[in-house]
Amino acid sequence: MRRALDIADDVRAGRVTATEIVERCLTGLRAGNDRLCAVTHILEDRARADAAKVDIAIAAGRDPGPLAGVPYGVKDLFDVAGRPTTAGSALYADAAPAQTDAEAIRRLRDAGAVLVATLNMDEFAYGFATINARHGTTRNPHDPDRLAGGSSGGSAAIVAAGLLPFALGSDTNGSIRVPASLTGVYGVKPTHGDLPMAGVFPFAESFDDIGPFATSVADIRCIHSVLQGASPTNAEDRKVRVAQLGGRFLENADLDLRAAIIEIAPDGAVLELPDIARARSAAFLITAYEGGTLHRAALAANAMMFGPATRDRLIAGTLIPRSLYDAAQEFRLSFKAMVTDLVAEYDILLGPATPCVAPLVEDPRILIDGVMKPARSDLGIHTQPISFTGLPSLSVPLRRPGRLPLGLQLIGRPNGESTLFQFAAMLEAKGVIGTSPPPDYRGPDYRGPSYRGIET
């Protein structure tokens, strides 16, 4: 699948129709999903109808928008008119269908994009692995024996496999940045509260955000602007001040990540944010409390309809005293103020998005502080403290063809996404970052060489 803006240019110029693009896309999704387990539902009738509207607009001389005819998918917690919003759970499989689309989907439709699929996720977005009791485990297209990450794993994997040019996910504690890093695509968590959450099934409202996955800086910048409801803006034409995140952010980081950070900002100050472990613990507590509170009634009425891992974590959240939650929120305010003051003179902070490459599905653990820890909870070790601050963060893939992906976080000032995109575009032009196609992804029938031999 080509990049989103290239597809839109061809559709607007009449070199190809939106209908042709969608038909090719649907064929690819049907052929490729068996191996990936990334798609939960293909919206064939809707996609064909929306593509036809784009073609009619072009035939009438109207511009259908910057994403004309571009197919995309959404994590299975966005409202899609006519379908139940399940948030990846069997509990809501037979719920009443949504009456309207989520606001983000509406904005994308107005920009000419064509929704073709809903995508797999950790149940209720509670996890970093996309191991779903109902739909199965999403596989990494760079090595199907490995996880794609989560909780927006289906969205990341489908883009990394080239089956869709972009997709939407949600990010509470790293659920966009983690799978973007593990699958080698771009993913942005915006400034908290900046993109529309209407019609998105919540997890923990203190941290919940939505954002896109894409395969180029230009694509993700355009999609972000459409979701924001504004034209893309350029950052000020001045030298960008960059600092490295040290301390806890490097203690469990792959050596290639460390080297990339030094290469990108060799003269940048090294900042060590204090109380990172405490911030992450407080984020866990707030997330668990808000998730448990949200699902308390459903757990009491029908706990066995929840997946086992999700059920246990949500039940634990219902047991947290309100006083502890309030204390965690109070600490969050002081932590955000401290971080804001500490980084005030910098435009971008550099850090790892994940500590390592994607772990194996059969052994979903990663090495943290010398101990093997569950990937489902600890892949977000470097993203969770950033969510705690509400700052925007763009996960960018290091350029490493033939090797398993690794991603960096470019962390900006509040509402500083334009600077993040500008800096990322410079790194992309220099060849420091960029997507690489999976080594030999050919769909569900391919039985080529094992991916276990890939250098990690």
Say if 27 falls within a structural domain: yes
Domain termination site, one of 209, 235, 261: 235
Structural domain total, the chain: 2
The model's pLDDT over 396-429, given as tens digits with 9 standing for 90+, comes to 999 998 899 999 999 999 999 999 999 999 999 9
Say if 323 falls within a structural domain: yes
pLDDT at 237: 72
pLDDT at 440: 61
Q: Which domain holds residue 347?
A: 242-430
Residue 217: CB partners within 8 Å, gap ≥ 6?
186, 396, 421, 424, 425, 428
Positions marked catalytic: 75, 151, 175
- 270/409 same-domain check: yes
pLDDT at 447: 34
pLDDT at 343: 86
- 323/265 same-domain check: yes
- 274/156 same-domain check: no
The model's pLDDT over 20-71, given as tens digits with 9 standing for 90+, comes to 999 999 999 999 998 999 999 999 999 999 999 999 999 999 999 999 999 9
Say if 452 falls within a structural domain: no
User: Each residue's pLDDT tens digit in the chain (456 positions)?
Assistant: 789 999 999 999 999 999 999 999 999 999 999 899 999 999 999 999 999 999 999 999 999 999 999 999 999 999 999 999 999 999 999 999 999 999 999 999 999 999 999 999 999 999 999 999 999 999 999 999 999 999 999 999 999 999 999 999 999 999 999 999 999 999 999 999 999 999 999 999 999 999 999 999 999 999 999 999 987 677 667 789 999 999 999 999 999 999 999 999 999 999 999 899 999 999 999 999 999 999 999 999 999 999 998 999 999 999 999 999 999 999 999 999 999 898 899 999 999 999 999 999 999 999 999 999 999 999 999 999 999 999 999 999 999 988 999 999 999 999 999 999 999 999 999 999 999 989 765 443 333 323 222 222
Interatomic CA distance for residues 107 and 202, integer angstroms:
19
- 284/212 same-domain check: no
- 9/63 same-domain check: yes
- 262/295 same-domain check: yes
pLDDT at 261: 97
- 288/219 same-domain check: no
pLDDT at 235: 67
Q: What is the pTM of this model?
A: 0.95
- 211/265 same-domain check: no
- 281/139 same-domain check: no
Say if 52 falls within a structural domain: yes
- 261/405 same-domain check: yes
Collect contacts of 252-258 with beta carbons under 8 A, ≥24 apart: 252/355, 252/356, 252/367, 252/368, 252/369, 252/381, 252/382, 253/352, 253/355, 253/382, 254/352, 254/355, 254/356, 254/357, 254/406, 256/398, 256/400, 256/406, 257/352, 257/355, 257/398, 257/406, 257/408
Say if 440 falls within a structural domain: no
Say if 132 falls within a structural domain: yes
Say if 20 falls within a structural domain: yes
CA angle 174, 286, 299 (to 5 degrees): 100
CATH number, domain containing residue 29: 3.90.1300.10
Distances (CA, A) of 202 to 76, 323, 335: 12, 22, 24
